[in-house]
């Protein structure tokens, strides 16, 4: 840990983003199996695994949300989807925070002591979450370009959207790397922002604690 550098952190981020894009295709042929809750994950390997787990959560969430929008299934199927979506969204937010905690632990020894009390509009963990979703959008939009049951107009329109999504993905990845540079320069500080989601907590959601019976 003591030997970590800002350039190494940027390299891990770039490799993690590349894994997000690559795994979207791979996981359509066979999903990974992440057993149970991960223990304490720190350092380079910890950051890689946390980003991968967060991406896998988005992958599962994407497909459950697609299923939840069907009109030809029983109501209990949609209800099951809703419960799954809530659980996965909670997991997604928890992992964003854990990514930021891991990153802050790595960067802590490197941060300039006199760094300005300035923070970005979103954390690196939140930005990596957005990059994960963009990777999913690019894959599924590109899938539309290869459909045989639609006309050329549909395929062309989706092709244009793929180009736009790809440009946005490049922009966001660059912005994340530039944020690491800002940490190194001491012009901004990293920080973990906790979501404290209430909807799944039986002690905080009034629909749960007022209707226990």
Give residue 150's pLDDT.
Answer: 95
Instruction: Give the C-alpha separation, 7 to 73, whole Å.
Output: 50
pLDDT of residue 213: 61
- What pLDDT does 67 receive? 86
Cβ atoms of 10 and 174 within 8 Å: the answer is no
2 phi, psi to nearest 5 deg: -65, -25
Sequence ranges of the domains in the chain: 6-198
- Mean pLDDT, contiguous 10-residue spans, the chain (213 residues): 84 97 92 75 92 95 88 86 91 95 95 92 97 97 95 96 98 98 95 86 79 71
């Amino acid at each position: 840990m003591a030997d970590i550098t800002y350039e190494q952190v940027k390299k891990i981020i770039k490799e993690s983003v590349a894994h997000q894009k690559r795994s979207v295709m791979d996981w359509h042929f066979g999903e990974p199996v992440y057993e149970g809750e991960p223990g304490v994950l720190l350092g380079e390997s910890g950051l890689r695994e946390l980003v991968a787990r967060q991406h896998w959560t988005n992958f599962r969430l994407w497909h459950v949300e697609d299923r939840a929008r069907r009109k030809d299934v029983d109501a209990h199927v949609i209800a099951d989807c809703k419960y799954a979506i809530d659980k996965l969204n909670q997991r997604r937010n928890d992992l964003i925070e854990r990514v930021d905690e891991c990153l802050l632990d790595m960067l802590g020894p490197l941060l300039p002591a006199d760094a300005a009390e300035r923070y970005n509009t979103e954390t690196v963990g939140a930005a990596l979450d957005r990059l994960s979703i963009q990777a999913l959008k690019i894959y599924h939009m590109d899938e539309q370009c290869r459909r045989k049951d639609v006309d050329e107009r549909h395929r062309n329109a989706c092709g244009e959207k793929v180009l736009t999504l790809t440009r946005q993905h490049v922009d966001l990845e660059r912005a994340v790397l530039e944020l690491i540079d800002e940490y190194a320069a001491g012009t901004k500080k990293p920080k973990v922002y906790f979501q404290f989601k209430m909807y799944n907590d039986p002690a905080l959601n009034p629909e749960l604690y007022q209707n226990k019976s």
